[in-house]
C-alpha cells in the first residue's frame, strides 16, 4: 500500500515546490461555501468544511504538483498578539455550532493522506506559514501559500506566491509581486503599511478614521513606507492629517501586529514536509468515518497515487462448456459457489476457482433447463453480492432464485450500518483491502464475492451478528425481492381524479393568496417573494432570521399562522399541503407499470437502525390518519383474481419494546392488565383515576411517551404541545417519578453506548456512534438521541422482519396462494387468494404474535377490505 505525489511541474520551473495551506482560513471558506445541512454523518457530525477543504486541497495537488506540503492551523487560546492588543480579533462572532469538530477531522484526513499538519502555541498559522515560506525560499524552493488572509501578501516576492481564495474554495487569485501592485498600488513589502493605515475589520484593527485604501496607497506611494508617512505626518493637512496624528499609536501597534513571525522552530528539515507513504486502509477508514461517497475518495487516491497491495488472487480457470454440458458441471461443482449477474452475463465460480460464464440471452435449451433448476433449488447454496438485484435480473429471464447462503452486501451493512455505499468495489476496498478493477470480468467479480465471504464471516462473528445475518437479513432479501416483483394493484383512474382535484384546489389557493397580496404573478414557492409579501407588504411579525432573510420554513409559518390567523397564511399553508399531496399522487401515477401495479423498492440497507424504507415510489410517507392519506390509500386495491387485501400491524410496538428493555414495573403492569397504555400512564402522571384522564391529558402523556424514545426534552415537549415550559417540566418529572425504570434505562443506555461506541438491539444489531465523544455539541446531542432511539426502533424493526419470515414460511407450509405485498412501518399488507381469508387471518396473527417473547404481550390488529384504506383496523 503506497502513495507518492507526482513531482512533475506544470511549468518549466524545476525547483522544488512548497505548498502551504492556511488551515482555519480555508476551512471557514469551505464551511460557508457548502451548506452544512447537506453534509453530515449519520451521527450528526457536520462535514461540509471537511469536504470542501479536501476538494480544494486535491485541486491544488493536481494543478500545482508540489514536492512538499504542509497545513498550518491555529490553536485555541491567546497568542502573543493579544498580549499587546487584547482586542485583536475580539469582534469575530463565535464559531458556528455546525463548524465545531471539523478542524480535527480535516487534520485527521490530511495526516491519513500523508500530509503534515502543524500548530504552535501562542502563534498563529500565519506565523508558521511565514517561517516555512522564508526557509523554503532560502533553500531554493518556490513557495505557494493558499489562504483567505490578505496579511500573507507581505510574503510575496519572486519566490513566494499567494493563492488567495475568492469565491468559496473554487476560485483563486494568484498574487505575484506584479499582481499585488496592480491590485493595491503598493509592493508586497509595503502592504502591511497600507493595512495599518486603512485598518482591517477582520482583525479588529481600526486604522485611521477617514483613511481608506486610496488615501493610504497615495501616502505610501508619496512617502515610501509607513515610517515615511509618520516622519512627514505634520505636513499632512486637513481632517485626515489630524486623525493620523491622533491615532498614530494604534497605527504603529497595528503595523507591529500585522508583521508575521518568520523564524519559528516548527520542523527540523523541510524534507519532513514531503508527502509520506500512505497506508491505503488507514486512508480508506477515514473516508468511511466521514461517510463521503466514492467520488472524493477515489479522486484522493488517484491524485496521491494511493494503491492497495496486490493480494495474491488464485488464477481463475474458465471452462468453455459445449452446449448441453452445463447440467453435469453444475452437479459436480456448483454447491457453495460465488455467483455474479451483470446485464445478461451470469458467472458461477466454484471453491477451486473454476468457473463458467453463461450468456443468459443465448443459452442452449438443455442448459437453460439445468440452470433454471439449479437456481431455484434451495439446497444448492449460492453466494451473491446484492442477491435482491440479482433476483430481478434473473426474473427478467424467467428464472427463480433460491438457496442464497451469503449476501456480502448485507454482511457489510451489518458491520458498518453507518456508511452509505455497499457496492462490491467499495466493500472489497473497505474489508479486503484491495481494489476491484473497473475492467473486472464477471468471474473476477464472483471471485471478489468469494473473497468477501471468507473475510466477512469472522468479522460478523466478532461483532455478534452471525445469527442476525444468517437467520434474518439473508433469508429476508429474497422475500423482499418477491414482494417488489409482485407489486400492488392500483386504481389509476382514482389517482388521476385525485391529482385533478388537488390541482384545482392548488389553483384556488394560489388565486386567493395573490388577491390578498395584490400581486397577480406571486410565486408561492419563492422564499424571496414570500419574505417581501409577509414582512414588508403585509407587515406580519418577523420570523427567525436566516442568511437570506426571515425564514419561510413550514414550522416558522405554522407558528406565525397560529399567532396571527392571517388569511394569506391560511391560503399559503393550504397551498403547501395540497402541493405535497399532488406531488405524492403524481409520483404514484408515474410509478404504475404496464401490469397496473406499483412495484416499490424496499431498501434493506437504508437505515442504520435496521428499519426498512421504500423508494420509487416511497410508500411509507403516505399519511395514515388524515383524510387525504386515506383517499390515497383507497387507490391501492386488491388485484384481479384475488379476494381481498388483508392488513395486520403491531400496536404500540416501540412502547412495548421500551417496557421490555427498561423493565419498568409500571409499564409492564399497564400492558399485562390490558389497560389502554396512555390512559394508564395519564392516571399515574396526573394522579387521577383512569376514567378522569381527559383526551387532553391523554394527548400530553402520549406525546411524552413516544417523545422519550427520541430524546425529547421538557422544552421540546412544551414546544410540541404548545404549553408553558414549567408545565412540560412538571409532566416529565411526574412521569419519571412514577416510571423510574424508564428514567434509569434512558440514562444508562447513553452511558453504555458512549463507553462501547455502539448501541445494540435485543437481537444484537449494532449502531456505531463515534459522535458520542464529539466536541461538536450538536453532533454529540444528536448521537445521544440516536443512542436512545436505536435499540428501541431497531428492536421493533427486527421484530417485524422476523414476523415477515414467519408469515412467509407459514404461507408456503400451508401451500396458500396468498402473498405478502408490502411492509410499511409495522404493518404487513397481504393479497388474499379466493377462499383463503380465514386461514390467512389466523396464520398472520399467530406468526406475528409469536415472533418474539417480551415481558409484555404483543398486540396485533388486523382488518381486510377491497382496498388498503378499507382494510385498515
DSSP-derived 3-state class of residue 601: strand
Residue 560's nearest CA partner among 537, 576, 543 is 543
Residue 429 in domain: yes
Residue 432: pLDDT above 60?
yes
Region 166-190 average pLDDT: 86
The dihedral sign for the CA sequence 438, 441, 445, 447: negative
Name the least confident of 189-193, 466-470, 495-499.
Answer: 189-193
| 75-97 pLDDT, tens digit each | 876 776 666 655 555 445 577 88
Domain co-membership, 660 together with 766: yes
Q: Cα separations (Å) of 791 from 28, 186, 264, 659, 787?
A: 36, 64, 52, 12, 7
Do 288 and 43 form a contact (C-beta atoms < 8 A)? no
| 583-606 pLDDT, tens digit each | 999 999 999 999 999 999 999 998
Residue 638 in domain: no
Per-residue exposure over 27-57, b if at least 16 CB sit within 10 Å of its own CB, e if not: bbbbbbbbebeebbbbbbbbbbbbbbbbbbb
What pLDDT, on a 0 to 100 scale, did the predictor assign at position 85? 55
Between 381 and 221, name the one with better pLDDT: 381
Q: How confident is the model at residue 168 (pLDDT cuts 50, 70, 90)?
A: low
Domain co-membership, 473 together with 508: no
Domain co-membership, 406 together with 554: no
DSSP-derived 3-state class of residue 336: coil
Give me the CATH number covering residue 105: 3.40.50.1010
Please state whether the peptide bond connecting residue 617 to the residue before it is cis, i.e. omega within 30 degrees of 0.
yes
Residue located via cell numbers 461517497: 293
Between 819 and 210, name the one with better pLDDT: 819
Residue 413's nearest CA partner among 399, 396, 431, 435 is 431
Domain co-membership, 476 together with 553: no
What pLDDT, on a 0 to 100 scale, did the predictor assign at position 169? 61
Strands (E) in 442-498, as ranges, are: 488-489
What pLDDT, on a 0 to 100 scale, did the predictor assign at position 335? 77
Residue 413's nearest CA partner among 488, 468, 337 is 468
Residue 69 in domain: yes
Final residue belonging to a domain, choices 591, 626, 645 = 591
Domain co-membership, 699 together with 762: yes
| 784-796 pLDDT, tens digit each | 888 998 999 999 9
Q: Cα separations (Å) of 261 from 73, 148, 176, 194, 265?
A: 15, 18, 21, 19, 11
Between 302 and 486, name the one with better pLDDT: 486
Domain co-membership, 456 together with 572: no
Region 436-447 average pLDDT: 89
| 314-358 pLDDT, tens digit each | 889 999 999 999 999 998 887 779 999 988 899 999 999 999 999
| 492-515 pLDDT, tens digit each | 999 999 999 999 999 999 999 999
Residue 2 gets which letter from DSSP? B
Q: Which domain holds residue 64?
A: 17-186+260-273
Residue 550: pLDDT above 90?
no
Between 519 and 241, name the one with better pLDDT: 519
Q: How confident is the model at residue 23 (pLDDT cuts 50, 70, 90)?
A: very high
What pLDDT, on a 0 to 100 scale, did the predictor assign at position 41? 85
Residue 4: pLDDT above 50?
no
| 692-748 pLDDT, tens digit each | 999 999 999 999 988 888 778 888 888 888 889 899 999 999 999 999 999 999 999
Final residue belonging to a domain, choices 591, 615, 638 = 591
Q: CA 394, 397, 400: angle at the middle one, nearest 5?
A: 50
Angle between helix 740-756 and helix 665-673 axes, rounded to 10 deg: 120
Residue 309 in domain: no
Q: Which three cell numbers stand for residue 552?
A: 419561510
Torsion of CA 517, 521, 524, 526, to 10 degrees: -120
| 31-53 pLDDT, tens digit each | 998 988 889 887 778 899 999 99
Give me the CATH number covering residue 478: 3.30.420.10
Give me the CATH number covering residue 757: 1.10.150.20
Q: Can you give the pTM of this predicted structure? A: 0.81
Residue 2's nearest CA partner among 157, 166, 106, 113 is 113
Domain co-membership, 419 together with 515: no
CA distance 402 to 375: 6
Give me the CATH number covering residue 502: 1.20.1060.10
Region 572-587 average pLDDT: 93
Number of domains in the chain: 4
Residue 118 in domain: yes
Residue 807 in domain: no
Domain co-membership, 160 together with 269: yes
What pLDDT, on a 0 to 100 scale, did the predictor assign at position 818? 98
Residue 636 gets which letter from DSSP? B
CA distance 461 to 449: 18
Q: How confident is the model at residue 6 (pLDDT cuts 50, 70, 90)?
A: very low
Domain co-membership, 666 together with 743: yes
Residue 604 in domain: no
Q: CA 310, 316, 320: angle at the middle one, nearest 5?
A: 155
What pLDDT, on a 0 to 100 scale, did the predictor assign at position 7? 34
Residue 255 in domain: no
CA distance 256 to 359: 77
CA distance 555 to 566: 16
**Average pLDDT value over all residues in the chain:** 89
CA distance 418 to 191: 49
Region 55-62 average pLDDT: 94
Residue 202: pLDDT above 80?
no
Domain co-membership, 467 together with 509: no
Per-residue exposure over 674-700, b if at least 16 CB sit within 10 Å of its own CB, e if not: eeebbbbbbbbbbeeeeeebeeebbeb
Domain co-membership, 40 together with 75: yes
Phi, psi of 303 (to 5 degrees): -65, -40
Final residue belonging to a domain, choices 273, 308, 343 = 273
- How many CA atoms, within 13 angstroms, populate the side-chain half-sphere of residue 172? 19
Q: What is the DSSP string of 52-90?
A: HHHHHHHHHHHHH--SEEEEE-PPSS--HHHHH-TTTTT
What pLDDT, on a 0 to 100 scale, did the predictor assign at position 763? 95
What pLDDT, on a 0 to 100 scale, did the predictor assign at position 235? 73
CA distance 354 to 495: 53
Residue located via cell numbers 493480494: 311
Residues of the chain with pLDDT > 70, as a percent, come to: 95
Domain co-membership, 104 together with 44: yes
Amino acid at each position: 500500500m503506497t502513495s507518492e505525489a507526482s513531482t512533475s511541474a506544470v511549468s518549466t520551473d524545476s525547483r522544488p515546490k512548497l505548498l502551504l495551506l492556511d488551515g482555519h482560513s480555508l476551512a471557514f471558506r469551505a464551511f460557508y461555501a457548502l451548506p452544512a445541512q447537506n453534509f453530515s454523518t449519520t451521527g450528526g457530525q457536520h462535514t461540509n468544511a471537511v469536504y470542501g477543504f479536501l476538494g480544494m486541497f486535491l485541486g491544488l495537488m493536481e494543478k500545482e504538483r508540489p514536492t512538499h506540503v504542509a497545513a498550518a492551523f491555529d490553536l485555541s487560546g491567546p497568542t502573543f498578539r493579544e498580549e499587546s492588543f487584547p482586542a485583536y480579533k475580539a469582534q469575530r462572532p463565535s464559531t458556528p455550532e455546525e463548524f465545531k469538530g471539523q478542524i480535527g477531522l480535516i487534520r485527521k484526513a490530511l495526516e491519513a493522506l500523508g500530509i503534515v499538519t502543524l500548530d504552535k502555541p501562542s502563534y498563529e498559522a500565519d506565523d508558521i506559514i511565514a517561517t516555512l515560506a522564508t526557509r523554503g525560499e532560502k533553500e531554493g524552493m518556490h513557495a505557494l501559500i493558499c489562504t483567505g488572509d490578505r496579511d500573507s501578501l507581505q510574503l510575496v516576492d519572486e519566490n513566494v506566491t499567494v493563492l488567495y481564495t475568492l469565491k468559496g474554495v473554487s476560485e483563486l487569485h494568484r498574487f505575484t509581486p506584479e499582481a499585488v501592485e496592480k491590485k493595491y498600488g503598493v509592493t508586497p513589502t509595503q502592504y502591511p503599511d497600507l493595512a495599518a493605515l486603512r485598518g482591517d475589520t477582520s482583525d479588529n484593527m481600526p486604522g485611521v478614521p477617514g483613511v481608506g485604501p486610496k488615501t493610504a496607497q497615495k501616502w505610501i506611494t508619496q512617502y515610501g513606507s509607513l515610517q515615511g508617512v509618520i516622519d512627514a505626518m505634520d505636513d499632512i493637512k486637513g481632517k485626515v492629517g489630524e486623525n493620523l496624528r491622533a491615532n498614530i499609536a494604534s497605527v504603529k501597534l497595528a503595523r507591529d501586529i500585522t508583521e508575521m513571525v518568520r523564524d519559528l522552530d516548527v520542523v527540523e528539515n523541510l524534507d519532513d514536509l514531503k508527502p509520506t507513504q500512505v497506508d491505503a486502509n488507514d486512508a480508506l477508514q477515514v473516508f468511511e468515518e466521514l461517510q463521503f461517497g466514492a467520488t472524493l475518495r477515489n479522486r484522493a487516491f488517484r491524485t496521491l497515487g494511493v494503491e492497495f497491495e496486490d493480494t495474491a488472487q488464485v488464477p481463475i480457470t474458465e471452462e468453455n462448456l459445449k452446449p448441453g454440458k452445463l447440467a453435469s458441471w453444475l452437479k459436480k461443482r456448483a454447491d457453495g459457489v460465488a455467483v455474479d449477474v451483470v446485464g445478461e452475463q451470469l458467472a458461477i465460480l466454484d471453491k477451486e476457482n473454476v468457473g463458467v460464464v453463461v450468456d443468459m440471452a443465448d443459452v442452449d435449451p438443455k442448459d437453460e433447463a439445468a440452470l433454471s433448476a439449479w437456481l431455484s433449488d434451495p439446497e444448492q447454496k449460492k453466494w451473491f453480492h446484492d442477491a435482491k438485484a440479482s433476483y430481478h435480473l434473473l426474473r427478467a429471464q424467467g428464472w427463480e432464485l433460491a438457496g442464497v447462503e451469503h449476501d456480502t452486501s448485507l454482511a457489510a451493512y451489518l458491520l458498518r450500518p453507518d456508511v452509505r455505499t455497499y457496492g462490491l468495489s467499495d466493500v472489497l476496498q473497505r474489508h479486503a483491502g484491495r481494489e476491484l478493477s473497473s475492467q473486472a470480468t464477471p468471474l473476477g467479480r464472483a471471485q471478489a464475492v468469494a473473497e468477501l465471504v471468507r473475510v466477512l464471516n469472522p468479522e460478523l462473528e466478532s461483532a455478534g451478528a452471525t445469527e442476525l445475518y444468517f437467520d434474518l437479513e439473508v433469508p429476508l432479501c429474497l422475500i423482499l425481492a418477491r414482494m417488489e416483483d409482485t407489486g400492488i394493484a392500483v386504481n389509476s383512474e382514482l389517482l388521476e381524479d385525485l391529482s385533478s382535484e388537488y390541482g384545482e384546489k392548488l389553483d384556488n389557493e394560489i388565486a386567493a393568496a395573490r388577491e390578498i397580496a395584490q400581486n397577480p404573478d406571486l410565486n408561492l414557492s419563492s422564499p424571496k417573494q414570500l419574505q417581501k409579501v409577509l414582512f414588508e407588504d403585509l407587515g406580519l411579525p418577523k420570523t427567525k432570521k436566516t442568511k437570506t432573510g426571515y425564514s419561510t420554513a413550514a414550522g416558522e409559518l405554522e407558528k406565525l399562522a397560529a399567532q396571527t390567523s392571517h388569511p394569506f397564511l391560511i391560503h399559503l399553508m393550504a397551498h403547501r399541503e395540497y402541493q405535497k399531496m399532488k406531488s405524492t399522487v403524481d409520483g404514484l401515477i408515474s410509478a404504475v407499470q404496464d401490469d397496473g401495479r406499483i412495484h416499490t423498492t424496499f431498501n434493506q440497507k437504508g437505515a442504520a437502525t435496521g428499519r426498512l424504507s421504500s423508494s420509487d415510489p416511497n410508500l411509507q410517507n403516505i399519511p395514515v390518519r388524515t383524510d387525504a392519506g386515506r383517499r390515497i390509500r383507497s387507490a391501492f386495491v386488491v388485484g384481479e383474481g384475488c379476494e381481498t387485501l388483508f392488513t395486520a400491524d403491531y400496536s404500540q410496538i416501540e412502547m412495548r419494546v421500551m417496557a421490555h428493555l427498561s423493565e419498568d414495573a409500571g409499564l409492564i403492569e399497564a400492558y399485562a392488565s390490558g389497560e389502554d397504555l396512555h390512559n394508564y400512564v395519564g392516571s399515574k402522571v396526573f394522579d387521577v383515576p383512569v376514567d378522569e384522564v381527559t383526551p387532553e391529558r391523554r394527548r400530553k402523556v402520549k406525546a411524552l411517551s413516544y417523545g422519550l424514545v427520541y430524546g425529547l426534552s421538557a422544552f421540546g415537549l412544551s414546544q410540541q404541545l404548545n404549553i408553558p415550559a414549567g408545565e412540560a417540566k412538571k409532566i416529565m418529572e411526574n412521569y419519571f417519578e412514577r416510571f423510574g425504570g424508564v428514567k434509569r434505562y434512558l440514562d444508562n443506555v447513553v452511558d453504555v453506548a458512549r463507553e462501547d461506541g455502539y448501541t445494540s438491539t435485543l437481537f444484537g444489531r449494532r449502531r456505531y456512534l463515534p459522535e458520542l465523544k464529539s466536541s461538536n455539541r450538536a453532533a454529540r446531542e444528536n448521537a445521544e438521541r440516536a443512542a436512545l432511539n436505536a435499540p428501541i426502533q431497531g428492536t421493533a424493526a427486527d421484530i417485524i422482519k422476523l414476523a415477515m419470515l414467519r408469515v412467509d414460511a407459514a404461507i408456503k407450509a400451508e401451500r396458500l396462494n396468498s402473498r405478502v405485498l408490502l411492509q410499511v412501518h409495522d404493518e404487513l399488507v397481504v393479497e388474499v387468494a379466493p377462499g383463503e381469508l380465514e386461514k390467512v387471518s389466523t396464520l398472520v396473527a399467530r406468526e406475528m404474535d409469536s415472533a418474539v417473547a417480551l415481558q409484555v404481550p404483543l398486540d396485533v390488529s388486523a382488518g381486510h377490505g377491497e382496498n388498503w384504506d378499507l382494510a385498515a383496523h
